[in-house]
């Protein structure tokens, strides 16, 4: 199984990304984390989207700034349109299956009056 990990770089240090990589690899399968597995040659944008196109599971690392960048919104929208299965990884928590719409409401809760 190929896992594509989507994350806000601002919220995830290289050390944290390495930890996520180890945790997900321990579950089995192949893990793609852009800042760890991207080749240093070629067009980065195209390479990331190609990896996303090969993925069997989209893993969203839910943090404060997730979906607040153009890049994470592009990855999320592409995965949602492709109907890739979604799992959410939360800081201090485990990996859990989720629905795209549910994650959107978790990240952008409805305003209360």
pLDDT bin (cut points 50, 70, 90) of residue 78 is: very high
Q: Read off the pLDDT of residues 29-77 as tens digits, 9 standing for 90 and up.
A: 899 999 998 766 778 888 889 999 999 999 999 998 999 999 999 999 9
Distances, alpha carbon 75 to alpha carbons 26, 50, 58, 68, 113, in Å:
24, 11, 9, 12, 32
pLDDT bin (cut points 50, 70, 90) of residue 108 is: low
pLDDT computed for residue 110 by the predictor: 52
Q: Which CATH architecture has domain 2-107?
A: 3-Layer(aba) Sandwich (3.40)
Q: Read off the pLDDT of residues 34-46 as tens digits, 9 standing for 90 and up.
A: 999 876 677 888 8
Share the mean pLDDT of the chain: 87
**Element spanning 31, H or E:** strand 30-33
Structural domain spans, the chain:
2-107
Number of helices (H), then strands (E), belonging to the chain: the values are 5, 5
Distance CA 97, CA 9 (A): 22
pLDDT computed for residue 65 by the predictor: 92
Burial of 20 (0-12, 13-18, 19+ CB in 10 A): buried
pTM to 2 decimal places: 0.88
Could you count the other beta carbons within 10 Å of the beta carbon of residue 68?
14
């Amino acid at each position: 199984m190929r896992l594509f990990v989507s994350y806000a770089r601002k919220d995830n240090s290289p050390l944290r990304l390495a930890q996520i990589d180890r945790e997900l690899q321990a579950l089995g399968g192949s893990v793609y984390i852009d800042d760890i597995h991207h080749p240093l040659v070629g067009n980065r944008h195209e390479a990331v989207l190609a990896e996303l196109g090969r993925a069997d599971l989209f893993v969203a690392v839910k943090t404060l700034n997730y979906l607040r960048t153009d890049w994470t919104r592009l990855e999320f929208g592409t995965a949602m349109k492709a109907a890739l299965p979604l799992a959410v990884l939360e800081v201090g928590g485990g990996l859990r299956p989720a629905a795209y719409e549910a994650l959107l409401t978790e990240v952008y809760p409805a305003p209360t009056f």
